[in-house]
């Protein structure tokens, strides 16, 4: 999943942002300084040569001294101090939160990115799942996100979608206009968008993604049947999301408490006769090819041997974006991952279509008389 956040203009340098791991030497330096001080104290207290001490033996000696001596005298206090320094150093190393999560900021260049998207990465902020390292509680509040996330769960669901292969892209409206097409052929506004699952470089508004994809899928099926000489199309929602996306219809015996049962009326479409255009029937159609039965039917219909078609289609109405992702942003969002629709199509006969072709030909070749 690629979540694209459009803003008026970037207030931060383009780049790949995340948590930079701290340089271990920066953490080790104060620890080593503490250990050197502890070595000196222990060697003077226990009359042990500092050169003979290692980190491990110094820690063991410091622990043994603390366990065997009572706090009487300067030497014992020194041993206690040495032990405290040693213990504190190791605690610092193990518990240093900065060492675990790193520091937020520009993480790396674009040199390792896919060349296909480099063209717009150079003017965008990119955040990968790997660059966050599960520090969602800190990441979602970062100002580079322009307030797109209100809680840690939102950014978590986005970045962990698609098996944690997701990314967030923050770019300007002008950049989007230059490199992307709007699903509605309109102009972009600020807000959240998602890449179209079938069309490269087409953006779909995030909030209406599922309903937009369902509408596009529905329209494609209608155009598919119409180009094959359909007279009448009836689409019935059997289970799942109604064809217009207005609600969810539970299957018989599978009703879910959080869904209200909505009786969806059948969708009916009627057409004037139009000659079959077998060459362009699949042109600009990206969804129909996911259904082998439809392609088999296509070959049969091309020969005019079929006047009626009826088929139940099981469709993945998540369209490649997890429903729970949207739910994190809209608690009222309800949708079904899969839906079933029954298509009943009456076709014009070959004779009816032939009459249409003859009529069209006569109209095209008829030259109206003119008075002289």
Give the β-pairing of 181-182 and 15-20: unpaired
- 135 plus 147 within the same structural domain: yes
Confirm if 61 and 42 have CB atoms less than 8 A apart.
yes
Confirm if 301 and 224 have CB atoms less than 8 A apart.
no
Q: What pLDDT, on the 0 to 100 scale, is given for residue 89?
A: 63
When pLDDT is averaged across residues 358-363 and rounded to a whole number, the result is 50
- 218 plus 348 within the same structural domain: yes
Does residue 106 fall inside a structural domain? yes
Q: How far apart are CA 167 and CA 161, in angstroms?
A: 9
When pLDDT is averaged across residues 308-312 and rounded to a whole number, the result is 91
Widest pairwise Cα distance in the chain? 133
Torsion of CA 244, 248, 250, 256, to 10 degrees: 170
- 139 plus 156 within the same structural domain: yes
Higher pLDDT, 313 or 102: 313
Higher pLDDT, 45 or 255: 45
Does residue 372 fall inside a structural domain? no
Q: What pLDDT, on the 0 to 100 scale, is given for residue 318?
A: 95
Higher pLDDT, 298 or 320: 320
- 45 plus 146 within the same structural domain: no
Count of CA atoms in the C-beta half-sphere (13 A) of 363: 6
- 69 plus 124 within the same structural domain: no
Does residue 364 fall inside a structural domain? no
The helix or strand, by DSSP H or E, that contains position 248, with its residue range, turns out to be strand 248-249
Which pLDDT band, with edges at 50, 70 and 90, does 192 fall under? very high
Give yes or no for residue 290 having a pLDDT over 50. yes
Q: What pLDDT, on the 0 to 100 scale, is given for residue 147?
A: 94
Does residue 371 fall inside a structural domain? no
User: Beta-carbon neighbour count of residue 339 at 10 Å?
Assistant: 23
Q: What pLDDT, on the 0 to 100 scale, is given for residue 22?
A: 60
Q: How far apart are CA 173 and CA 283, in angstroms?
A: 30
- 249 plus 302 within the same structural domain: yes
| 39 token code pair | 């070595």
- 275 plus 320 within the same structural domain: yes
Which pLDDT band, with edges at 50, 70 and 90, does 72 fall under? very low
Q: What pLDDT, on the 0 to 100 scale, is given for residue 130?
A: 83
Q: How far apart are CA 306 and CA 189, in angstroms?
A: 47
Q: How far apart are CA 23 and CA 273, in angstroms?
A: 73
Q: How far apart are CA 133 and CA 130, in angstroms?
A: 5
Does residue 361 fall inside a structural domain? no
- 131 plus 189 within the same structural domain: yes
- 123 plus 195 within the same structural domain: yes
- 199 plus 282 within the same structural domain: no
Q: How far apart are CA 14 and CA 289, in angstroms?
A: 38
Among 43, 78, 98, the domain boundary falls at 98
When pLDDT is averaged across residues 353-360 and rounded to a whole number, the result is 62
When pLDDT is averaged across residues 307-315 and rounded to a whole number, the result is 91
Q: How far apart are CA 183 and CA 311, in angstroms?
A: 29
Q: What pLDDT, on the 0 to 100 scale, is given for residue 47?
A: 59
In 70-200, the DSSP E strands lie at 103-108, 124-128, 167-172, 181-182, 191-195
Give the β-pairing of 202-205 and 248-249: unpaired
- 10 plus 148 within the same structural domain: yes
The helix or strand, by DSSP H or E, that contains position 320, with its residue range, turns out to be none
Q: How far apart are CA 159 and CA 128, in angstroms?
A: 7
Does residue 370 fall inside a structural domain? no
- 85 plus 166 within the same structural domain: no
When pLDDT is averaged across residues 11-23 and rounded to a whole number, the result is 82
The rounded percent of the chain whose pLDDT value lies above 70 is 65
Stated pTM of the model: 0.73
Give yes or no for residue 278 having a pLDDT over 80. no
How many domains, in total, are found in the chain?
3
Give yes or no for residue 55 having a pLDDT over 60. no
Which pLDDT band, with edges at 50, 70 and 90, does 101 fall under? low
| 291 token code pair | 């259904």
Cα-trace Rg, the chain:
34
Give the β-pairing of 167-172 and 2-7: parallel
Does residue 6 fall inside a structural domain? yes
Q: pLDDT tens digit string along 327-337?
A: 999 999 999 99
Higher pLDDT, 247 or 143: 143
Among 76, 98, 120, the domain boundary falls at 98
Domain that holds residue 307: 210-356
> How far is residue 363 from each of residues 48, 202, 354, 367, measured CA to CA in Å?
112, 40, 14, 9
Q: What is the DSSP letter of 50?
A: G
Does residue 362 fall inside a structural domain? no
Q: How far apart are CA 216 and CA 198, in angstroms?
A: 11
Among 178, 205, 232, the domain boundary falls at 205
Q: What pLDDT, on the 0 to 100 scale, is given for residue 35?
A: 64
Mean residue pLDDT of the chain comes to 78
Query: Which residues, including other chains, have CB under 8 Å from residue 41's CB and lie 6 or more apart?
Result: 78, 79, 81, 82, 85
Confirm if 236 and 266 have CB atoms less than 8 A apart.
yes
Top-ranked range on mean pLDDT: pick from 158-172, 266-280, 350-364? 158-172
Give yes or no for residue 180 having a pLDDT over 70. yes
Q: What is the DSSP letter of 332?
A: T
Q: What pLDDT, on the 0 to 100 scale, is given for residue 369?
A: 42
Confirm if 125 and 170 have CB atoms less than 8 A apart.
yes
| 173 token code pair | 């409206």
């Amino acid at each position: 999943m690629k979540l694209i956040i459009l803003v008026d203009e970037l207030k931060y340098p383009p780049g790949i942002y995340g948590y930079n791991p701290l340089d271990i030497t920066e953490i080790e330096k104060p620890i080593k300084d503490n250990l050197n001080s502890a070595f000196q104290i222990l060697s003077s207290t226990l009359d042990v040569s500092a050169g003979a001490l290692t980190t491990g033996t110094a820690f063991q000696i410091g622990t043994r001294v603390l366990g065997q001596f009572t706090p009487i005298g300067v030497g014992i206090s020194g041993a206690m101090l040495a032990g405290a320094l040693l213990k504190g150093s190791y605690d610092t190393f193990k518990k240093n939160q900065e060492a675990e999560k790193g520091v937020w900021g520009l993480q790396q260049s674009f040199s390792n990115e896919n060349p296909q998207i480099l063209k717009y990465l150079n003017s965008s902020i990119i955040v990968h799942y790997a660059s966050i390292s599960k520090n969602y509680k800190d990441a979602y509040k970062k100002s580079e996100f322009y307030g797109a996330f209100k809680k840690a769960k939102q950014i978590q669901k986005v970045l962990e979608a698609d098996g944690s292969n997701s990314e967030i892209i923050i770019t300007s409206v002008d950049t989007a206009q230059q490199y992307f097409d709007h699903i509605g052929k309109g102009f972009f506004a600020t807000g959240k968008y998602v890449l179209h699952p079938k069309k490269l470089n087409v953006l779909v508004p995030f909030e209406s993604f599922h309903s937009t994809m369902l509408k596009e899928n529905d329209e494609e099926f209608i155009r598919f049947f119409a180009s094959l000489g359909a007279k009448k199309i009836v689409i019935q929602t059997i289970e799942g999301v109604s064809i217009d996306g207005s609600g969810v219809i539970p299957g018989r015996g599978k009703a879910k408490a959080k869904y209200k049962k909505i009786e969806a009326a059948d969708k009916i479409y009627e057409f004037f006769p139009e000659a079959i255009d077998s060459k362009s029937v699949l042109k600009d159609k990206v969804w129909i090819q996911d259904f082998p039965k439809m392609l088999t039917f296509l070959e049969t219909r091309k020969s005019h041997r079929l006047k009626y078609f009826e088929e139940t289609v099981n469709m993945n109405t998540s369209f490649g974006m997890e429903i729970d992702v949207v739910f994190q942003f809209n608690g009222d969002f309800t949708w079904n991952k899969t839906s079933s629709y029954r298509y009943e199509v009456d076709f014009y006969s070959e004779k009816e279509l032939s009459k249409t072709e003859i009529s069209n030909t006569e109209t095209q070749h008829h030259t109206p008389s003119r008075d002289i």
